[in-house]
Structure 1
Amino acid sequence: MRTTAKARGMGDDLRRALVGIEAKTAAKVGAGWWDLREGPDGKVVSMQRKRKRILGEKGRDACYHVMSRTVGGEVFFDDVEKEALRKLIWKMARFSMVKVVTYAVMGNHFHVLAVVPDAEKTLEKFRQPGGEKLLLKHISCLYSLDAVQILENQLQTLRKRGEEKARKEIIERLLARMCDVSRFVNEVKVRFTRWYNRRHERKGTLWMERFKSVLIGSDAAMRSVALYIDLNPVRARLVDDPVNYRWCGWAEAEAGGSRRARRGICKAVHCAVDSWERGDGTARKLYREALAFVIAREARVGDRQGSTNDSALTRHLMRRTRYFSDSLVIGTRGFVEDAFRRYAGSFSDKRKTLASRIRVPDKRGRLQDENHFTMKNLVKDVWG
């Protein structure tokens, strides 16, 4: 993967700085990850948080664009910190069983486009006979051997005592951290904050409010958001081509040769996820050409104006937009309307339009595109 001169010169310093990110979590760090908490009545207190964001339909995989910014956007990451956050995103995605499509780690914020599998179907194997062994093996991607051994011993002790309810509660608390977009992003942010604060000898919060998320409901919308994310460093004028920016999914796939990043790009353009590694260059070609089209189009003088009847959102992807961060849901009309009905109680009962078309940047109309309806009818400062 191509790097900046500063990053190339880090060597041992970079490796030392990232020890805390790459190390497995020890048993003594947050040892209560499996301990039970009981209320005054002796019953186990549920640790599940109430969800308030728009989530995918139960029983189906869901795709989300998530982003989070540092406090006031005033904390800026250096190259080592960007690398640490990049590694942590992948590390927590593996533990959480989340499939990263692409990402971009910028100076004061990050984006991740990820597919979160249906929890019930995905986690069923851990609840079946032999599932406990599979679970212990799985969490070893995050926890040290000592921590995993302590957990295994505790589960065995509870089984011998006949305390099956307590044993299952421990397992369920672990499973609750998987296949969940909120838990995935929160763990990335919390772990990175600890590492960052130690590095800078600081205290307190690092991130501004809760992270934003948009539920993606069409293949075309997933592709558009993926391109938008990888174009972040170009919009910020850091590079002319995202392949030259180390901390984005396209650079990791194309320049870095990463198998996991290449699988994400294949997903973004709706090719078989293993097609790139099998030598099929279709996904690479489609994605590279789409990026090149947007960049070249932006470079042409006066070519930002688009026809209201143009069905392609691609032509506008070099513009900053709130549609990909504040619209709650983006996808086909049917997908957006179904999501609205599931969360109707969160909206005014006077609302009549459930799905809105995207406004074009020149404000003279809306895109006639059947794959990019939004739940929020954004009006103010929609395009940058």
Structure 2
Amino acid sequence: MPRLPRFNLSGVPQHVIQRGNNRQACFFDEDDYLFYLECLQTAAGVSGCDVHAYVLMTNHVHLLVTPHRDRAVSRMMQSVGRRYVGQVNRRHERTGTLWEGRCRASPVESERYLLACYRYIELNPVRAQGMADMPDDYRWSSYHANALGRGDAWLTPHSLYNALGPTAAARQHAYRELFRIPLTAETEHEIRLSARQGVVLGSEAFRERIGQSLNIRATPGRRGRPKKNNAFTDR
């Protein structure tokens, strides 16, 4: 299987997914979730990444980040992986790998998809059957910070999020209102497909521009039928 491309593009947001090995759990108790977020906060600051949104599911992680240095996303995820896996293996008396190889990253065209990607990430627990009825019912996501102003002060809002309103309260209200409009099945599929294949999420012109600048494939392969949702699907 060919290795997924690495998009070393400073200032371009990326949707990052990291899954548990063989879709097995990578979080086992509350302390694991808390420690992962601590690792992520530290690694993001050191590597030069702004984290805008996240969700920690039982067996995978979604992040929306903007790198500001060369290879910043790779360095951030490597740092998180080293610290987190070592701690989890010690605490739970386990050995071996935890993650399924390299993380997958998809550059996101801001104007067209960025706020949709925010919502896609924070709605993961709602799409997973039986996990949450509403995004604020799930503890381990950035929805509480972005929509309610609670916790995660280390997150960095994207400029398009800041453009939602002149004050924090106005931005949070406008952000909550976005969740009243369901993401279309087409948008969900485009986000999911681009992340799984490690290609660009955006218009054809945006994909071509990214692909030409890096001399890599930036367009998804042949589209398939969307998979059914379940609690262990990479959403």
Which bin holds the TM-score, normalised by the shorter protein?
0.7 to 0.9
Q: How does 1:117-136 map to 2 (within 5 A)?
A: 117-119=68-70
Which blocks of at least 5 consecutive residues in structure 1 are unaligned? 1-50, 120-178, 295-313, 348-373
Root-mean-square deviation (CA), in Å? 2.7
Q: Give the aligned partner of residue 287 of structure 1.
A: 175
Is it true that 1:67 corresponds to 2:27 in the alignment?
Answer: no
Equivalent position of 1:271 in the other structure: 163
Alpha-carbon distance, 1:268 to partner: 5.0
Q: For residue 200 of structure 1, report the CA deviation from its aligned partner.
A: 1.1
Q: Which residue in the other structure is 2:184 paired with?
A: 315
Report the AA paired with residue 109 of structure 2: G
Aligned positions, number: 221
Aligned to 1:218: 110
CA distance in 1: counterparts of 2:168 and 2:37, whole angstroms: 27
- The answer to whether the Cα contact below 8 Å between 1:101 and 1:267 also exists between their aligned partners in 2 is no
Written as runs of structure 1 = structure 2, the 5 A alignment for 1:329-348 is 329-344=200-215, 346=216
Cα gap change, 1:85/1:289 in structure 2, threshold over 3 Å: closer, same or farther? Answer: same
Does the CA-based 8 Å contact 2:106-2:201 persist in structure 1?
A: yes
> Which residue is 1:100 aligned to?
51
Q: Structure 1 residue 73: deviation in Å?
A: 1.2
Aligned to 1:260: 154
Q: How far apart are 1:283 and its partner, in Å?
A: 2.1
Per-residue Cα deviation, 1:318-375 (whole angstroms, up to 9, x for no partner): 678323432510123322101222344x55xxxxxxxxxxxxxxxxxxxxxxxxxx71
User: Which secondary structure state, in structure 1, belongs to the residue aligned with residue 100 of structure 2?
Assistant: coil
Name the counterpart of 1:377.
221
Q: 1:257 to 1:80 in 2, by over 3 A?
A: closer
Letter matched to residue 39 of structure 2: L
Q: Check conservation: 1:102, 1:249, Cα contact below 8 A.
A: yes
8 A Cα contact 1:68 1:211, kept in partner: yes
1:234 shift after superposition: 0.8
CA–CA distance in 2 between the matches of 1:318 and 1:244? 21
Write the distance in 2 (CA, Å) between the matches of 1:76 and 1:61.
30
The normalised TM-score by structure 1 is 0.52
Tell me which residue corresponds to 2:136: 243
Q: 1:106-131: per-residue Cα shift (whole Å, max 9, x none)? A: 10111110011145xxxxxxxxxxxx
Q: 1:56 to 1:271 in 2, by over 3 A?
A: farther
2:34 matches 1:83: yes
In the alignment, the residues of structure 2 paired with residue 231 and residue 378 of structure 1 have an alpha-carbon distance, to the nearest angstrom, of 26
Deviation at 1:192, TM superposition (A): 0.4
What is the distance in 2 between the residues matched to 1:322 and 1:52? 14
Q: Is the 8 A contact 2:20 2:59 kept in 1?
A: yes
1:246 aligned counterpart, secondary structure: coil
2:124 is the counterpart of 1:232: yes
Percent of pairs identical after alignment?
24
Secondary structure of the structure 2 residue equivalent to 1:330: coil
Maintained 8 Å contact 1:228/1:318: yes
**Structure 2 stretches lacking a partner, 5+ long:** 229-235
1:181 matched to 2:73:
yes
Distance in 2 (CA, whole Å) between partners of 1:198 and 1:327 is: 32
- Cα distance in 1 for residues equivalent to 2:50 and 2:142: 12
1:289-335 C-alpha deviation (Å, 9 max, x unpaired): 112322xxxxxxxxxxxxxxxxxxx3236678323432510123322
Whose radius of gyration is greater, 1 or 2?
A: 1
- Secondary structure at the aligned position of 1:214 is classed as strand
SS at match of 1:322: helix
Q: Taking structure 2 as the reference length, what is the TM-score of the superposition?
A: 0.81
> How many Å separate the matches in 2 of 1:81 and 1:234?
21
Report SS of the residue matched to 2:139: coil
- The amino acid of 2:211's aligned partner reads F
Tell me how far apart the structure 2 counterparts of residues 327 and 282 of structure 1 sit (CA, whole Å): 34
